[in-house]
Amino acid sequence: MSTNRGLARRGFLAGSLGSALVAAPFAISRAAPPGFSGDPFTLGIASGAPREDGVVLWTRLAPQPLEGGGMPDTPVAVDWLVAEDESFSRIVARGTEQAVPAFAHSVHADVRGLKPGRPYWYRFRAGTAQSPTGRTRTAPAATGAPQRLRFAFASCQQYEQGYFAAYRDMAARDLDLVIHLGDYIYEKSWGSRLVRRHEVGIPTTLPEFRDRYALYKLDGDLQAAHAAAPWLSIWDDHEVADDYADDRSYTTRDPAHFLKMRAAAYQAYYEHMPLTASARPRGPTATIYERYRFGDMLDVMLLDDRQYRSAPACVNGARPVTVPDCPERTLEERTMLGRAQEAWLDTQIRNSKARWTVVAQQTLMAELDRPTESAHRFWMDGWDGYPNARRRLLDSIATHRPRNPIVIGGDRHAFFVADLARDPTRPTAPPVATEFVGTSITSEGPGAKGLRDALAANPHVKYARGDRRGYATVDLTPARCTVGFEVIDDEKKKDGTVARLATFVVEDGAVGARQA
């Protein structure tokens, strides 16, 4: 990013988030405007799901965000504007959405008719209250040939364990896209050296989940990252309950009760993220896996590895931790994605024609054996607990041979770089894909000794480091994929600064990363 572009970006952010109550060029007439007890745009704004002709714009009206929102039990009209310039002198789209109580007065405006591959500015108004301004970007045309795409990916932002200064750094970068890989909120308190508090217990009902999202989204640095670029997002476990698998949870044993809680959690997730209408929950089910195309440069497949997975193996219903291997783990019918999503992904991989194919999922895909003198040991909450599901996915890549397959993940609170082979028991077999896992935004990482031992026992894992918090950046050109591991100097400080920890490069036509 050039100095001028960086300064322009920081200037945009300072201006867009400075005030929510200023004049606006809205020309939509209405009856008497609703009165609010305070600023209704306390939770910020966001955009997501970028296509070549449009994006989804999001906000939620919440003048009392930690008290259920503070809105009347009636619909409220919310206007939106999209312009080609930050001053809104060239307005290209406008509309009105009804923010209804059933969805916490959230807004998901599906804007279409935009031009491909260019930035746009947007904002909302409810009554006389105006939101901050956000900047978004449409995807390049499907037939387009962009020469560069830049995105970041992040995960695991436990509110109590640190501040979100990493997002402030992300917002200042000139990114085309942000991909969030799960654990956007945490349902429970844990960890050491907590710097702020949830203040209330574990959410289990829809009002409680709404308040938990509101607490997280009040963070100004997180709001800035949402306002700076469009997001693609998927959930992991902590949006519902630690280490859950489909309708099974070691913390809530009754499946019927757990599914009621999951329905509340899924709805709150939808209400607070810039998702398409196709992701709107129907009770305890919701479809969040999807493919996004960015010209001939990039195909992104978003996966859901929580909602459909088989019960954890080898733990007899207990928490799925690292345990000795057992025959159940390798049963062929065990699935991480569910059969329907597996079939969908196979079709997407077969049809991918982009220069770079990114499979965006929640966790480390590479095998991470923790052998002892008497047994091989595996972590049963990740892909190691579902080895044949992983084999089927990698078989699909090996069979259909998309150009330059890259897997990205989060969840492990550590950076990893790995070669992915169809059979991890054959370390000399050629890999079929390259994997990058980003560390957490704030959540505490694993011990250094455990990672050193894992590296020694798993030669296909080329890099592992869990002592730093941050995120990853990806810079794509036709010739190479450059991945940067960006780390905060101290996540316990509000004013932490970010620096590059390591850089890896994958060359076009090659599998495997080299450290630059």
pLDDT tens for 138-148 read 999 999 999 99
Helix (H) or strand (E) holding 263: helix 255-271
* Amino acid identity at 408: I
Q: Which residues pair with 125 in a beta bridge?
A: 79, 130
Q: What are phi and psi of 177, to 5 degrees?
A: -165, 150
Q: How far apart are CA 384 and CA 367, in angstroms?
A: 6
- Exposure b/e, 180-213, CB count within 10 A at least 16 = b: bbbbbbbbebeeeeeeeebeeeebbebebbbbbb
Residue 17's pLDDT is: 54
163-193 pLDDT, tens digit each: 999 999 999 999 999 999 999 999 999 998 9
**Domain region containing 440:** 149-515
Q: How far apart are CA 503 and CA 487, in angstroms?
A: 12
374-410 pLDDT, tens digit each: 899 999 999 999 999 999 999 999 999 999 999 999 9
CATH classification of the domain holding 257 = 3.60.21.70
* 218 CB neighbour count, 10 Å cutoff: 16
CATH classification of the domain holding 96 = 2.60.40.380
| Shared-domain flag, residues 106 and 160 | no
| Shared-domain flag, residues 375 and 269 | yes
Residue 374's pLDDT is: 87
Residue 25's pLDDT is: 42
Helix ranges restricted to H, 352-440: 387-400
| Shared-domain flag, residues 110 and 200 | no
Q: How far apart are CA 378 and CA 320, in angstroms?
A: 10
Q: How far apart are CA 306 and CA 312, in angstroms?
A: 11
Q: Which two tokens stand for residue 420?
A: 């992915």
Q: Which two tokens stand for residue 46?
A: 């966001």
The DSSP letter of residue 282 is B
| Shared-domain flag, residues 73 and 157 | no
Residue 48: inside a domain, yes or no?
Answer: yes
Write down the pTM of the prediction.
Answer: 0.94
The DSSP code sequence of 42-90 is: TT-EEEEEEETTEEEEEEE--SBTTTTB---SS-EEEEEEEESSTT-SS
8-53 pLDDT, tens digit each: 455 555 445 543 333 344 443 344 456 798 999 999 999 999 999 9
| Shared-domain flag, residues 224 and 335 | yes
Strand segments, DSSP code E, in 100-230 are 106-111, 119-126, 129-130, 134-137, 149-154, 177-180
Q: Which two tokens stand for residue 261?
A: 């809680």
